Amino acid sequence: MATVIRLRREGAKNRPFYRVVVADKQSPRDGKFLELLGTYDPIRKDAASTLKLERIEHWIKMGAKPSETVASIIKRHRAKAAAPAPAA
């Protein structure tokens, strides 16, 4: 079974909200998934995503391939987590 890490669309019309999920490559975009790995809100710019990085790493080691969009979200999330917090 080929697995992918991709976005599952939720939310209302003109107000998208996405869940980052691991799913079988052949299942529909909003269909059955194996595990919920986080969320992504493209409208909010501050804390737009929450991800379980350790579970994402686990699934990548198991052979799951992230979509282009999810790969960029992961990269941005890692960079934000590695950056030092600004001093007050």
**Measured between alpha carbons, how far is 57 from 85 in angstroms, rounded to an integer?**
24
- Give residue 4's pLDDT: 94
**Number of domains, the chain:** 1
**Measured between alpha carbons, how far is 19 from 23 in angstroms, rounded to an integer?**
12
This model's pTM is above 0.75: yes
Is 61 within a domain? Answer: yes
Q: In Å, how far are 1, 23, 26 from 67, measured between CA atoms?
A: 17, 11, 14
Give, for 75, the enclosing helix (H) or strand (E). helix 68-82
Is 9 within a domain? Answer: yes
Nearest to 23 by CA among 50, 49, 1, 3: 3
Is 36 within a domain? Answer: yes
**Measured between alpha carbons, how far is 74 from 69 in angstroms, rounded to an integer?**
9
Is 88 within a domain? Answer: no
pLDDT tens per residue across span 17-65: 999 999 999 998 888 899 999 999 988 877 678 899 999 999 999 999 9
The domain in which residue 44 lies consists of: 3-82
Is 38 within a domain? Answer: yes
